[in-house]
Every structure is written in structure tokens, then in C-alpha cells.
Amino acid sequence: MSEQNFDLVVLGGGSGGYAAALRASLLGLTVALIEKDKLGGTCLHRGCIPTKALLHSAEVADAARSASKYGISATFDGVDIAGVTSYREGIISSKFKGLEGLIKARKITVIRGEGRLVSPTRVQVGDDVIEGKNVVLATGSYARSLPGLEIGGRVITSEQALELDFVPQKVAILGGGVIGVEFASVWKSFGSEVTIIEALPHLVPNEEESISKQFERAFRKRGIEFSLGTRFQSVEQNDDGVVVTLEDGRRIEAELLLVAVGRGPSTQGLGFEEVGVEVDRGFVITNERLETNIPGLYAVGDIVPGLQLAHRSFQHGIFVAEEIAGLSPQVVDDVNIPKVTYSDPEVASVGLTEARAIAEYGQDRVASYDYSLGGNGKSHIIGTTGSVKVVRVADGPVVGIHMIGARVGELIGEAQLIVNWEAYPEDVAQLVHAHPTQNEALGEAHLALAGKPLHAL
């Protein structure tokens, strides 16, 4: 058994792990990055990147269908799923090669294999022991199911959905969160009949309620069906497909059932608890500075309770590398991390919902304005509807921004700066927003909250 020593050992090469490795390397630390599969993790290979490639193919399909509306002669002749797959895999391959090259250029030692924590400073990979002055746990997540609901056959997760070599005629989706509605959007654009089953009262239930309601109207207009507020009971498979039964007795027939009920932490069997790491329902418990109950041992990304987003994991990785290097980086609370749902329409948000702001500050101390994209020139040009809602503390800063409509995810950059820098609407209102852009809608909403609405009544 051989032993290797480093300043930092990172267990997991996904968004959080490779970010920690890259930043630590820039700060002069020697780094070992342990990964059992491919660098880039779920986000690059089975999550963010491939699903967004699918969504762009879906957008092109919809554009072909509606081309005559814009004076363009084009026809939609169907979906070449092999071509879609080739396009998607080409993007993944290119990004993967780029990441591998970057890791190599930064002289990070990549160790291939499944690692197991054997002490607070040691990770075993096969017959080798990798020791670090600090260790970062970044083992990511897996697609969850429900108790008693087995994945297999015609019951699939998002990972199997990405590998389908056909477009299902009719599909049921269990879960109306981000993953569920993004696949619903893709399949509807590809020509499938889609039914979403969500136990909570709304689709995208973690968003501002007014945004969720607009989202439901948009999906209903697209012909996407959904059942809200009723739990899943069981599913039966047969030669033709699946029959899903809800607790109220309703039955939904489909070719496939996509289980999209969230992701669980990948921590079992990796030695964490044996070493003494505090774990709760599979999640690694850390303080606000991402250090576990064992000094010098950190955890980042999806295994830490909170939002499961690639960019949160990425930020965690950078944070921990800087923390270990003694730079005392600034903590960013989960509520102030931007969220984007890349369906049609898109949803983007950062900060407190109006309900949470009222709970924190009181009814009389919260003001909001909901600006319709119907008044925005660029939105009219590209044929989208939706809104930008801004929530502020009375005579105080903006604490939440919530948006729905095509391409609004591209507006989240300015939105997160406004919220995180605690800007007042009056600060934003004096800034110039280029015309014609959807970004103007963000400016208009702040003008209205600052008491000087222009294109709003």
C-alpha cells in the first residue's frame, strides 16, 4: 500500500470538487482530486449541460413551428433524436476536454477510483492512501425515488430520460419541481403528451406564488397537463406502458413514468460516519463556513443541506479553498443564491419571496411591484409574456427579485447583485438599462418601487 501527501485532498470531481481544486491550486496548494467517474460530475455529464442542450433543441423545434409568425418560411418535419443526441454529446465532450485540460494545466493530481474516508486526513483509493492537511468531501448526489417506488423498466429517472433513443408519445412525470418541468417542456416541444403529478399546491413550488401561478397558466396554454395537491399512490407496468394511481383514485396512463422527486446526498458507504463525521439523513452537517464537526474536514455542494444547484456547489468549492488558505471569504446565504428553471417559460429568482419577507419584516414594512413583460419591447419582439416582481423593505433595500418569461434567466446576474449588495430601488432606478432589452423590465420595476413609474400605472 502506497501513501501520497498533499496540502488538500478533494473527494469528488463534480462542480464543488473541481472548483475547490482549481482555486486551491491557484493559491499555491498541492491538490489531489479523487473521482471514480468523469471530472465534471452530474452537472456536466447527466444534469445541467445535457438537459439545457435538450431544451435548446426543443426551443429550435418550437421556433420552426412558429416561423411564419415572424415572416419566415420554414417547416417542422419532426425530431431526429439521434441528431439531438449527437448535438448534446458533442457539447459535453467539448466541455469535458476543456475541463481536463484546465485541471492538467493547474498541475492538480487526478486520482481515478472510488475513494473512502478512513481518517479525518486520509482517503483510501484501492490500495493507495491519499493524505491531506485538509480534506474536502464533495461526493454529490443521486436521483431519488419514493419509498416503495422502484426504478426500472418504464419507470425512469432523469439519467435514463437523457439516454432515450425515442420520443415518448405520452409521458407522466412525478414531481413538478425544476427537473420535472424542464423535461415536461422538452417532451412537449418534441411532440409528446405530458402530465405532471405534484403533491404540493403548485408547480415550481419553491418559487414566489404569483410566479408559480403564471407558470401554471403558461404550461396549461402549451397543453401540458398537471395534477396538483394529490399524492402518488402506486404505478403498474405492462407491455404498453404504465398506469399511475393517485391517492384520490385517479389513474393516469402513459408510455413512461419519469420520477423527478429531487436528489439525495451520495454519502453512504464512503466511511464518513465511521470516521465520526456528523451526518443527518445522509447529509453532512457543517457550520456556516462549511467545516464539519471535525476540524480541518470540509464538505461542499449537494451533500450539504440546502439548495442543490451546480453554481452553489461551485461557490462552495471556491469558498472552502479560500477558507483553508486563510482568506476568510464572505458567506453567501442560500436564499441569496440565484435559481433558474430553464423551461419554456423560464423562471429566475433570488432572495426572499414576498411571503417570506412579510414573515421576517412584517406586513407594513414590505412593498412589492410586479411589472408585466407585456410592456417590454424586446419581450414583445420575441413573443414572450411574463413579469418581473421586485420585493423591498419599506424605505429599505430590495430583498427579492422573481421573474418569469422567455430568457429571463439571463437577467439574474443584475438581480443577484441588487439583492446581495442590498441596493435600494432608488439606487437601481437611476441606472441606465439598454433599449430595447428585457433588462429594461428590471429597471422599470425598480422605477415603479422608487415612486417614479414610466411604462407602468
- 426's enclosing H/E stretch is helix 425-429
Average pLDDT of 168-194? 98
pLDDT attached to residue 454: 83
Torsion of CA 163, 166, 172, 174, to 10 degrees: 10
| pLDDT at position 369 over 90 | yes
Active site annotation includes 435: yes
Predicted confidence (pLDDT) per residue in 109-164, tens digit: 999 999 999 999 999 999 999 999 999 999 999 999 999 999 999 999 999 999 99
Residue-averaged pLDDT of the chain: 97
User: Which among 228, 229, 245 has a CA at the least distance from the CA of 237?
Assistant: 245
| pLDDT at position 456 over 80 | no
At 196 the three-state DSSP class reads strand
User: Which among 99, 105, 106, 102 has a CA at the least distance from the CA of 27?
Assistant: 106
Predicted confidence (pLDDT) per residue in 394-419, tens digit: 999 999 999 999 999 999 999 999 99
Average pLDDT of 42-56? 97
- Pairing label, strands 128-137, 297-299: parallel
Share of the chain above pLDDT 70, in %: 100
| pLDDT at position 457 over 80 | no
Residues in the chain: 457
**DSSP-assigned letters across all residues of 101-156:** HHHHHTT-EEEES-EEEEETTEEEETTEEEEEEEEEE---EEE---TT---BTTEE
pLDDT attached to residue 2: 76
CB atoms within 10 A of CB 44: 22
Who contacts 326 (Cβ-Cβ below 8 Å, separation ≥6)? Answer: none
How far separated are the first and last CA of the chain, in Å rounded?
Answer: 74
pLDDT attached to residue 108: 98
Active-site residue among 311, 380, 435, 446? Answer: 435
